[in-house]
Amino acid sequence: MSRTSSRSKTTYRRKPRKKTPIFSGKIRSYSIIAFFILLLLGVGYHYRNGLLYYLGFKSYKIRYEQAEAKRISDIRNFQVLENHQGKSIGLDVSEYQGKIDWKSVENIEGDYPIEFVFIRATAGNDREDDKFDENWLGAKNRKIIRGAYHYYRPNENSLEQAQLFIKTVRLRKGDLPPVLDIEKLPKGQSLDSLKIGLRRWLKAVEAHYKVKPIIYTGEKYYDDFLKKDFSDYLFWIANYNFYREKIEDDWLFWQFTEKASVSGIKGNVDVNIFNGDVEQLKYITME
């Protein structure tokens, strides 16, 4: 027997679409743009003094014809100097600066007198800086507090390196303590071996000059390899990063730029801040 079924048709109604406000997309875009504008304005306000100086709006700006020799090329550098008013400011130089006219070496940006200078004396176990004697005498004649540093090569004998420095550098009363510059990691030897070599150099130099040397290195090198094992030494730290604007409390010196312009020196120069004023700087010099 056949069955007949009738299917009733069901009618579906479409749900009405929600109306999207015409301006919602534009508002979102404008909000994003406004956020970035506010961000830029905030950064600009933070660095307002450096920007104004750089653009020549400050009333005490130096004349254009002097700017080339005295200007720090980066706006951040001026901001850092302004943040450390009252601190002693200095340089470090080597043969890479060529012949320096020490009589013309006076200040940075017209407002920051150069009160000390570190001069490279030696590198490795066989290399004397070609300009050391000339720079050492030039700084003395200019009556700038001076110090000498050794560039350490990890894969060369540490005691031979110490003897080369001792043979080359004669420290006098009023000079800064000797400096060990360590920047490279060793090849073919362990970090423990490197640290033993550094200790040998430091002890040999301390025994000769009767003063504890200072260690120069980069901030990351300091944090990763030296901070824990050499906590009994004072450090001179290099960090040029844009975000860093203040010296740390446990740093003796901070090398904050390698791109400064100073009268009497051709090309770029490193600039350093001592964590104290000039009288405190004199306190740590050789007796």
CATH number of the CATH domain containing 251: 3.20.20.80
Tell me, yes or no, whether 164 lies in a domain.
Answer: yes
How many Å apart are CA 137 and CA 219, to the nearest integer? 31
Of 265, 266, 245, the C-alpha closest to 254 is 245
Which residue reads 């013309």 in tokens?
A: 104
Average pLDDT score over residue span 195-216: 98
Q: ∠90-228-247 over CA atoms, to 5°?
A: 30
Top-confidence range, 15-19, 118-122, 256-260: 118-122
Same domain, 52 and 177: no
Contact 201, 182 (CB under 8 A): no
Q: Flag whether 219 is in a domain.
A: yes
Question: Domain of 187?
Answer: 68-283
Q: Kindly state whether residues 159 and 75 are assigned to the same domain.
A: yes
Lowest mean pLDDT among 144-158, 228-242, 254-268: 254-268
32 and 165 in a single domain? The answer is no
Say which range, 12-16, 171-175, 209-213, has the weakest mean pLDDT.
Answer: 12-16
Percent share of the chain, pLDDT over 90: 66
> Do 78 and 48 belong together in one domain?
no
In this prediction the pTM is 0.76
Judged against a pLDDT cut of 80, whether residue 60 lies above it is answered with no
The pLDDT of residue 63? 47
Same domain, 198 and 179: yes
Provide the pairing of β-strand 127-128 with 112-123.
antiparallel
- Note the pLDDT tens digit of each residue in 211-246: 999 999 999 999 999 999 999 999 999 999 888 889
